[in-house]
């Protein structure tokens, strides 16, 4: 029986391990936290630093195929280990996705539309910026869920930006109509599939709601799917890739990418015949990819640390039309500790208005 190694033990690693088990595979999970989400699911758990080459190599030796559940890991070490062990995705998607500069440069190179941007190495780089107010300052790396981002409405706002040892991208604030995510898979056999677009609603930089059945024009969906296929084929990316796109006047603009299961893709566990987790595993194992067709409709709501009590109240009243996935994390403010999948679209407006 093959063993699938998963570097990272958060909720994404937990669901990967769960689907691997359902598919009949053994799993080994490597993480820095002894109480990580995936530990209870993993067949074997290894505690260690993501920079510990000796321990990570020993972990890789145990596994027939290896994947990762987050992108901000030691790219140089993955590059080295991928030459000896079956890390199917290799280092390329990590190198691109761990730097906003690399992501935007890739999009420009491949002829994919992006909002206007400029790399900001230090405060001197702000001279002759050639961007109108307002614009965004986004940390070049390690930024997620709104962290490391500043809205610059006037010159004085730049005083709030922490420049010490941090590089940024200054990016045009696009007054977009909506945001979508596209999740795609490219197998070791060359097979390629995508889900239809997911419609995303954010609040304070954190994904709030994902809707499975958005009314996205076919031309918009085709353009976004064409962009992600171009990225995966031109950059030889295998496994899963999620790209977030802004849509303005039916024109698609690349925002960012993630070469691992994505928050918006949780919904596929309940609304599609094959989840993002199973299709990723199929892709790296060289198995036929599963259908990306929806089996039913619904929407997903992130549950943050401050939402736990109201989630309990909601489930006590609407548990017949909703599921709650608990990540068993400490309920810290703005930390994702679970998600809801709701099948009754009559409740969508209530969530949009109240779940903030």
What is the structure's pLDDT at 356? 81
Which tokens is 264 given? 């918006």
Architecture of domain 3-87: 3-Layer(aba) Sandwich (3.40)
Percent helix, strand, coil in the chain (nearest 5)? 35, 30, 40
Delimit the CATH 3.40.50.20 region(s) of the chain. 3-87
Q: Which CATH number does 116-172 carry?
A: 3.30.1490.20
What is the structure's pLDDT at 144? 61
Delimit the CATH 3.30.1490.20 region(s) of the chain. 116-172
Q: Starting at the earlier edge strand, list the strands of the sheet with 44-47.
A: 44-47, 26-31, 3-7, 65-68
What is the structure's pLDDT at 45? 98
| pTM score | 0.94
What is the structure's pLDDT at 145? 57
What is the structure's pLDDT at 233? 98
pLDDT < 70 regions, the chain: 143-147
């Amino acid at each position: 029986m093959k063993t699938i190694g998963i570097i990272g033990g958060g909720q994404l690693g937990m669901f990967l391990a769960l689907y691997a088990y359902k598919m009949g595979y053994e799993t080994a999970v490597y993480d820095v936290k002894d109480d990580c989400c995936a530990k209870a699911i993993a067949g074997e758990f290894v505690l260690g630093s993501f920079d510990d080459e000796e321990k990570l190599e020993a972990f890789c030796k145990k596994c027939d195929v290896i994947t990762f559940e987050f992108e901000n890991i030691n790219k140089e070490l993955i590059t080295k280990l991928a030459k000896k062990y079956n890390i199917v995705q290799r280092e390329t998607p990590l190198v691109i996705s761990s730097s906003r500069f690399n992501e935007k440069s890739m999009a420009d190179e491949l002829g994919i539309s992006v909002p206007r941007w400029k790399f900001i190495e230090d405060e001197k780089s702000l001279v002759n910026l050639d961007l109108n107010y307002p614009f965004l300052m986004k940390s070049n790396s390690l930024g997620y869920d709104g962290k490391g981002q500043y809205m610059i409405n006037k010159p004085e706002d730049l005083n709030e930006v922490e420049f010490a040892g941090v590089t940024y991208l200054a990016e045009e604030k696009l007054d977009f109509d909506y945001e979508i995510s596209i999740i795609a898979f490219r197998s070791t056999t060359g097979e390629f599939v995508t889900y239809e677009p997911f419609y995303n609603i954010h609040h304070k930089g954190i994904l709030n709601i994902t809707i499975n059945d958005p009314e996205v024009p076919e031309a918009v969906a085709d353009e976004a799917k064409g962009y992600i296929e171009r990225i995966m084929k031109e950059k030889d990316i295998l496994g899963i890739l999620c790209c977030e796109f802004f849509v303005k006047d039916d024109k698609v603009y690349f925002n960012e990418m993630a070469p691992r299961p994505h928050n918006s893709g949780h919904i596929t566990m309940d609304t599609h015949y094959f989840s993002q987790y199973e299709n990723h595993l199929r892709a790296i194992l060289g198995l036929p990819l599963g259908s990306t067709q929806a089996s039913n409709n619904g929407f997903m709501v992130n549950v943050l640390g401050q939402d736990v009590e109201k989630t309990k109240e909601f489930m006590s009243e609407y548990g017949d039309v909703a599921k709650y996935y608990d990540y068993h994390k400490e309920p810290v403010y703005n930390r994702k500790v679970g998600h809801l999948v709701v099948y009754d679209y009559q409740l969508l407006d209530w969530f949009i208005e109240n779940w903030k």
